[in-house]
Amino acid sequence: MNNDRIEITDELIACYMEGNLTEEQRSAVEAYLSENNDALDALFLARTELAYVNVVKHLVAEGIILDEKIQRKRKIRLYGIGCMLLALLGCAAYFVWRLSTPYQMRVNINENKAYSIPNLPFEKGTLVCEYADNPAQTFPLTVGNHSVFLNDIPYRYRNTSVHVVFEAEGYLPVDTVVPVQKAFSLSIRRNNELGVVFGSVADFKTGNPIENATVRMQDMEMKTDSFGRFRIDIPFEKQDKAQLLQVFAEGYPIWQGYFRPSATEPWTIMLGENQ
């Protein structure tokens, strides 16, 4: 593109738009544009775009609008703040729910196998539970119900303790304090009141003690001492409410009878004609 002595280039037109031309150059460019409508239209569009860009730059410089990078950072920041607020709201809702939801504690009664009697399984007993300043609750225990539930414990008592008392005939009592928890197993054991048979063997007529008499119970036996006394300790697995006792002594017929074992009540066995 030539106009007499001056070559019209895109760079020259750009300088024309910026007003950085000599008078001669400007006249040459205007003459060229007057003869080329397409170049004139392109110049008009370029000026419009330049004006738009300049306006945007001005608004950004004045802080009236934000450029894309700032907008992107602001969006990211707002998104992070929103997520944090949602998390805080979720935590607050969970905390309120926990405070309003009663706590439940299950107490399971488990018989210690090493101190149990196979012929006499657990039948009944009572369990008393008390926590904080609430009144004690008494729960009956039966053959088919070895568990109790402490319901409606306010959540504020979750870090407190429960006073647990177990009582049942034939079992050692349990009196303990345990933390509030979802489930707790209470081990119980027999009190061994059926674990001893003791007494003496004597002659029915004279009342004299009989020494070296054989006292037998199940597969256990022993000899009486010089005072006719005996004692048999019965392991848990062989205990029962009644035991068959047999006594053998030279010169006497065999004696046998059923009695309840007892660690406090002795058996007095008299051998002789009227036994």
The model's pLDDT over 151-203, given as tens digits with 9 standing for 90+, comes to 878 878 888 899 999 999 999 999 999 999 889 999 999 999 999 999 999 99
In a domain, 74, yes or no: no
Rounded Cα–Cα distance for residues 99 and 93 (Å): 10
Q: Are 138 and 207 in the same domain?
A: no
The model's pLDDT over 5-39, given as tens digits with 9 standing for 90+, comes to 677 776 766 676 667 778 777 777 677 767 776 66
Q: Which of 188, 221, 245 is the last residue of a domain?
A: 188
C-beta separation of 128 from 164 below 8 A: yes
Residues 6+ apart with CB under 8 A from 132: 157, 160
In a domain, 123, yes or no: yes
- The count of structural domains within the chain is 3
In a domain, 98, yes or no: no
Q: Which of 143, 171, 188 is the last residue of a domain?
A: 188
Rounded to the nearest 10°, the torsion over CA 268, 273, 274, 275 is 40
In a domain, 30, yes or no: yes
Rounded Cα–Cα distance for residues 264 and 36 (Å): 132
Q: Which of 188, 214, 244 is the last residue of a domain?
A: 188
Across the strands, what pairs with 153? 103
Task: Look up the pTM and report it.
Answer: 0.60
Q: Are 177 and 113 in the same domain?
A: yes
Sole residue written with tokens 């001893």: 196
Question: Which of 191, 197, 217, 174 lies closest to 117, judged by CA?
Answer: 191
In a domain, 69, yes or no: no
Whether residue 238 has pLDDT greater than 70: yes
Domain limits at 27?
2-61
The terminus-to-terminus CA distance of the chain in angstroms comes to 150
CATH code for position 153: 2.60.40.1120
In a domain, 110, yes or no: yes
Residues 6+ apart with CB under 8 A from 153: 102, 103, 104, 105, 131, 180
In a domain, 6, yes or no: yes
